[in-house]
Amino acid sequence: MTKVAVILAEGFEEVEAITPVDLLRRAGIDCVTVSLGEEKLVPSSRHIPVLADRSWDEMDFDGCDGVVLPGGLAGTERLLADARVEALLRRFGEAGKLTAAICAAPTVLARAELLAGRRAICYPGLEDRLPGAEVCCETVVRDGTVITSRGMGTSVPFGLALVEYFLGKEKADALAAKIVYRREA
């Protein structure tokens, strides 16, 4: 079974985290939320406490097929400051596993040198923090095993792109129809 880890760092953007988790789980993908800290209860950017499935130390990332980083400026800063995140991303990149990020979090992928020579997108105004990437202006950008997206308002198409990556366009389209979401052609 496909397994995806969504990393929650204090100050993460709620919608950018919960929407992809919801869509992945609806699609039948094992999606595990992982607290970057020792505590499983992680405060979001709007001070909504979210209970992660596992703390970082409890998580076995070896069994995962992908890792997803929600944005939120404070959460992204914490992701950038944690060497474990960069090491994990590099390991996933080298193994050809999915690395995905939304809003400000693609800057973390850039720090791990996963965007060089790839098409990518991020929150408007942070494009200069994606050195080496071919910055696009699309809702969601997939380039090989990397998926990036722009922000909270693109959380549904981002989540559906994750589903499509693992299960194909037909399954993603069926899920979009089920949640009454019209996908771009």
- Annotated catalytic residues are 103
Side-chain-side CA neighbours of residue 71 (13 Å): 23
Name the burial class of residue 168, with classes exposed (0-12), middle (13-18) and buried (19+) by CB atoms within 10 angstroms of its CB. Answer: exposed
